[in-house]
Chain A
């Protein structure tokens, strides 16, 4: 557990370093993830301590976003004034987006399989 956490934080810091160095507005964590991913691809495998740590940590990802989400209490005026509008925009976008994403993927698959639908 500890070994993996050290690796993850090391790549996080490396990501922050690179983002700052290049002056890119990309979060250091995302840069760190891409660098770790690149290392995994180059090495062609995942060491078992690393896998254990990720399995220990990832199930709690939803928990880690809770505190920041609670921040919405400071924006109750936005919720009151624009909540319905935002919700409408969301539902319409999903009603279009889900079929379009599915349809595009299926179209591309049938194209690859020689027109089989």
Chain B
């Protein structure tokens, strides 16, 4: 019998399910690593998954276009899942009854400051238009940013990388900064994590407590909505 090794390998390597499979596999790997490492922020599942997939794409002849053709169906869930965020938003709303003023102040003013500092530094240090435009979305969760970045002349992929690192760095830096600046109250910690470190910050906030988690989740959604409405109007290309 004559075994067709090359054809057999091609059937796998060129399969329309390859990108889907690799994405699910690397993400599951990331989830395990995250759990076994006691949730170290730099071992966040998205980080592990994206870095290993990038390495594979750069080292083999698998192009991003061919990968995306297959993984595209995962991206398509992004729209419905953003709509689904209305449910935790509604459930967390009662946390705002007492603290709507601190929440708004921290989100609107604090959010504007952290975004302007990052964009300002990049702009005056001579960053390219593409990265400056992508930086505007740094404080919103990736799901929102992927849809907003192209509308303001940024690049969805660059925005996603910026956001991933912001989230991870934010979650790493927050405990020290809270100690140094004496940020001890739950709503304040939650808002700071949600505004500055969005989704990764929200999971960090949940480690502090459910009140921090609620404020972080609210801040993350609120910043996303605020930026979704403000940025395209402020920065139309």
**Given A72-B161, A87-B165, A99-B177, A93 and B106 touching (CB < 8 A)?**
no
Q: Is residue A21 contacting chain B, with contact meaning CB distance below 8 A?
A: no
Contact of A69 among B86, B135, B157 (CB under 8 A): B157
- Provide the residues of chain B in CB contact with A17, threshold 8 Å: none
Known contacts A5-B80, A68-B157, A105-B187; A46 and B91 CB within 8 A of each other: yes
**Chain B residues with a Cβ closer than 8 Å to the other chain, count:** 109
Chain A: CB-nearest residue to B184: A106
- Whether B49 lies near A94 (C-beta < 8 A) is no
A101, B84: Cβ atoms closer than 8 Å? no
Identify 9 residue pairs between A and B in the complex whose beta-carbon atoms are under 8 Å apart, listed by A's number. Answer: A32-B83, A67-B23, A68-B146, A78-B131, A88-B125, A96-B117, A97-B192, A102-B183, A102-B192
Q: Which residues of B contact A108 (CB under 8 A)?
A: 101-102, 105-106
Interface contact B75-A68, CB-CB below 8 Å: yes
CB distance from B110 to the nearest CB of A (A): 3
- Could you tell me which residues of chain A, from 1 to 25, have a CB within 8 Å of some CB in chain B? 4-5, 8-9, 11-12, 15, 24-25
CB contacts (< 8 Å) of A15 on chain B: these are 83
**Distance (Å) between the CB of A76 and the closest chain B CB?**
7
Contact in complex: A37, B180 (CB < 8 Å): no
Is residue B122 contacting chain A, with contact meaning CB distance below 8 A?
A: yes
Tell me the A59-114 residues at the B interface (CB within 8 Å): 60-76, 78-79, 81-82, 85-109, 111-112
Nearest opposing residue in chain A for B203, CB measure: A62
Contact A74 B64 (CB under 8 A): yes
Cross-chain contact A96 with B113 (CB below 8 angstroms) = yes
B118 contacts chain A at the CB level, 8 A cutoff: yes
- B contact set with A: CB distance below 8 Å: 19, 23-24, 26-27, 44-46, 49-50, 53-54, 57-58, 64, 67-68, 71-72, 74-75, 77-91, 93, 99, 101-103, 105-107, 109-111, 113-115, 117-119, 121-122, 125-128, 130-131, 135, 138-139, 142-144, 146-148, 151, 155-158, 160-162, 164-166, 169-170, 173-174, 177-178, 180-181, 183-185, 187-189, 191-193, 195-197, 199, 224-225, 228-229, 232-233, 236
User: How far apart are the CA atoms of A103 and B78 in the complex, in Å?
Assistant: 33
By a CB distance below 8 angstroms, the chain B residues around A60 are 77, 81
Asked if residues B143 and A64 are in contact (CB atoms below 8 Å), the reply is yes
Residues of A near B228 (CB, < 8 A) are: 26-27, 30
List 11 additional contacts besides A27-B147, A62-B45, A100-B109; criterion CB under 8 Å.
A5-B80, A30-B144, A68-B157, A69-B50, A69-B142, A69-B161, A85-B126, A94-B173, A98-B178, A99-B183, A102-B181
List, in ascending order, chain A residues with CB within 8 A of B58's CB: 73, 76
Which residues of chain A are within 8 angstroms of B138 by Cβ–Cβ distance?
90, 93
